[in-house]
DNA sequence: AATTATAATTGTACCGGTACAATTAAACAA
DNA sequence: TTGTTTAATTGTACCGGTACAATTATAATT
């Protein structure tokens, strides 16, 4: 693990363990430097990471402060999208409906940048948070990149498996969101009525080399899907 | 304007003017250094900015590449939230329903971290993109920070005014999203039916010193609200 | 007590450097 | 041709430094 990642993790842990609140001040840069025995730029990089994660904010001439949003029921949009596993103390489980190798239709192929003759893994799951139906997910993996999947892997975290066992690194993702109405079958999975409102998110996950490897469509249960997104300033 | 911001803006402009596609390669770091006559770290910082904006991705040992999502109809979630004005060539207009000074109710006061006896500006607008009803917005500004607003300012960009004329800098925001059904009055504003699905986003905007100054509730027209969010990897 | 000028604090911009890991290209061998 | 080894390319991690702007604390003034 890189130094600045390690330091960021330790500072985050410190904030959680001491239950620091919004606006609480952290040690000044110079102290963090000596405390962790690294140069200024390394600490700065760690802090930048935490800033992007929405955990701190820095104010020139003043100090480094804790940033906290105050709505317990809301999950980070990104934590439910493969990234960051910090769902806090919530239990995430899955019913696996399908794991199979097939050919993609035109839409799927286009989103994955492959040919309709290429193989893909199709995975279908219903996901639960603390036992409550949370979403229905249909996702496709490029088989050339993810050569093997089974029900055990899929019941757990696919992303951990892909990054761990397969040794590929995930780079970035494009999420497309829209609101709509549930179809009859979707309503069945989510325990809702047809035409009930829903949030749909399609996501294309890319490896760090830019190649798409996963295209997923998630339909959220509107009563249990409350998301928080912490954004950082107008950067320019 | 800072050097690295300037360079980032120029590179972005270059990409747009030459209509570069996803995967197209940009000049290598060393060339960018000499081209702009700055040090490596300054170029790196510019590139990092562009990476966060979802405009490029970098691959060690290989190069710097253009990143582009391929869905024209979708707007960046952040561009509709005060940040970044890059709505492309779309026309954003507003019907101003209310601009007045009042006292906040308990919820508003709590979200803004002020007392119910403090003054706030209440602004209510219906917003249009290319003439189509896009959303209904109700927002509250802390009067101690934003001492004056009128219909002209509000019809345009409030954020530009706040940052420009008032000289305060916006730091970060917390967005809370959920899906629900429209009330009768909301449906009226959006030209929809009661109980139609909708996306609701509440946002608390903070100054760079961490103080909240704007709390807004937006209700989106579900047919015209399609958002894209470009996320960057699991950072840790 | 309230305002204003001054000084100390503290993060950010920018420089220039070394070492290194991932990728790609070139050279070589089977 | 195909695979393997080697070398060149290229971005990232990390160091340590100077200058500076925004904030906050202190001192001086009204």
Residue-wise pLDDT tens digits, A132-182: 999 999 999 999 999 999 999 988 888 888 888 777 889 999 999 999 999
CA distance A204 to B69: 10
Pairing of strands A226-232, A75-76: parallel
Residue A204: its H or E element: strand A197-207
3-state helix, strand, coil in chain A (%, to 5): 25, 35, 40
> Are B119 and B147 within 8 A, CB to CB?
no
Residue A175: closest CA among A199, A198, A155 = A199
How many Å does it take to go from CA A34 to C1' C17?
22
Measure in Å the smallest separation between the Cα of B77 and chain A Cα atoms: 9
> Are A203 and A174 within 8 A, CB to CB?
yes
Mean pLDDT of chain A: 92
Q: Is the CB of residue B173 less than 8 Å away from at least one CB of chain A? A: yes
Res. A84 pLDDT band, cuts 50 70 90: very low
- Residues facing residue A133 across a β-bridge: A128
Residue B108: closest CA among B125, B127, B126, B123 = B123
Q: Residue A151 CA to chain centroid, in angstroms?
A: 21
The residues, ordered by sequence, that sit 6+ positions from A165 with a Cβ below 8 Å of its Cβ are none
- Residues facing residue A135 across a β-bridge: A127, A220
Protein-proximal nucleotides of chain D (any atom < 7 Å from a CB):
8-18, 21-24
Measure in Å the smallest separation between the Cα of A224 and chain B Cα atoms: 9
List the structure tokens of A159.
Answer: 């992303």
Would the pLDDT of A233 be above 80? Answer: no
Among A1, A229, A230, A232, which would you mutate to test the B interface (most chain B Cβ atoms within 10 Å of its Cβ)? Answer: A229
Would the pLDDT of A235 be above 60? Answer: no
The residues, ordered by sequence, that sit 6+ positions from A227 with a Cβ below 8 Å of its Cβ are A74, A75, A76, A77, A80, B176, B177, B178
Whether residues A178 and B225 touch (CB distance < 8 A) is answered with yes
Kindly give the parts of chain B with pLDDT less than 70: 82-88, 234-236
Among B112, B199, B211, B236, which would you mutate to test the A interface (most chain A Cβ atoms within 10 Å of its Cβ)? Answer: B236
What does the pLDDT read at residue A234? 64
Whether residues A231 and B175 touch (CB distance < 8 A) is answered with yes
How many Å does it take to go from CA A223 to C1' C24?
50
- Domain range summary for chain B, segments of one domain joined by +: 3-66, 75-228
Buried b (16+ CB within 10 A) or exposed e, A73-89: ebbbbbbbbbbbeeeee
Q: Which of residues 6-45 of A touch B (CB under 8 A)?
A: 8-9, 22-23
Asked if B62 CB < 7 A from strand C, the reply is yes
Q: Is the CB of residue A2 less than 8 Å away from at least one CB of chain B? A: no
Res. A72 pLDDT band, cuts 50 70 90: confident
Whether residues B174 and A228 touch (CB distance < 8 A) is answered with yes
How many Å does it take to go from CA A184 to C1' C19?
60
List the structure tokens of B178.
Answer: 């959920």
Q: Is the CB of residue B198 less than 8 Å away from at least one CB of chain A? A: yes
User: Contacts by B163-169 with C-beta closer than 8 Å and gap 24+?
Assistant: B163/A234, B168/B207, B168/B213, B169/A233, B169/B207, B169/B208
Q: Which of residues 217-236 of A touch B (CB under 8 A)?
A: 220, 222, 225-236
Pairing of strands A132-142, B212-221: unpaired
- Is residue B106 packed enough to be buried (19+ CB in 10 Å), middle (13-18) or exposed (0-12)? exposed
List the structure tokens of A223.
Answer: 């009563």
Q: Which CATH number fits domain A3-66: 3.30.70.1880, 3.40.50.1820, 1.10.10.10, 3.90.1150.10?
A: 1.10.10.10
The total of other beta-carbon atoms located within 10 Å of residue B166's CB is: 13
What does the pLDDT read at residue A82? 64
Residue B133: its H or E element: strand B132-142
Residue B47: closest CA among B24, B28, B22, B61 = B28
How many Å does it take to go from CA A61 to C1' C5?
19
Q: pLDDT tens for residues A12-30?
A: 999 999 999 999 999 999 9
How confident is the model over A27-39, as a mean pLDDT?
A: 96
Which residue bears the tokens 């760079």?
A: B208
Q: Is the CB of residue B179 less than 8 Å away from at least one CB of chain A? A: yes
The residues, ordered by sequence, that sit 6+ positions from A153 with a Cβ below 8 Å of its Cβ are A161
Q: Which CATH number fits domain A75-228: 3.40.50.1400, 3.10.20.740, 3.30.360.10, 3.40.1410.10?
A: 3.40.1410.10
Q: pLDDT tens for residues A212-223?
A: 999 999 999 999
What does the pLDDT read at residue B89? 73
Share of residues in chain B with pLDDT > 70 (%): 95
DSSP class of residue B223 equals T
The total of other beta-carbon atoms located within 10 Å of residue B151's CB is: 12
> Are B201 and B164 within 8 A, CB to CB?
no
């Amino acid at each position: 693990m890189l130094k600045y990642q390690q330091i960021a993790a330790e500072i985050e842990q410190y904030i959680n363990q001491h239950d620091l609140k919004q606006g609480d001040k952290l040690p000044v840069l110079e102290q963090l430097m000596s405390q962790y025995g690294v140069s200024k730029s390394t600490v700065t990089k760690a802090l930048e990471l935490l800033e992007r994660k929405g955990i701190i904010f820095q104010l020139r001439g003043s100090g480094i402060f804790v940033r906290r949003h105050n709505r317990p029921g809301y999950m980070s949009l990104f934590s439910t999208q493969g990234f960051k596993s910090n769902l806090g103390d919530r239990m995430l489980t899955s019913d696996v409906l399908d794991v199979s190798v097939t050919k993609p239709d035109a839409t799927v192929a286009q989103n994955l940048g492959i040919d309709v003759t290429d193989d893909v893994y199709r995975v279908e799951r219903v996901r639960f948070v603390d036992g409550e139906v949370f979403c229905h997910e249909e996702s496709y993996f490029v088989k050339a990149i993810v050569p093997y999947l089974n029900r055990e892997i899929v019941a757990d975290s696919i992303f951990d498996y892909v990054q761990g066992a397969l040794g590929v690194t995930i780079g970035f993702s494009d999420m497309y969101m829209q609101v709509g109405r549930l179809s009859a079958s979707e309503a069945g999975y989510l325990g809702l009525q047809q035409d009930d409102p829903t949030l749909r998110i399609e996501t294309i996950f890319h490896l760090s080399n830019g190649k798409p490897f996963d295209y997923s469509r998630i339909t959220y249960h509107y009563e249990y899907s409350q998301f928080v997104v912490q954004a950082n300033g107008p950067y320019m």
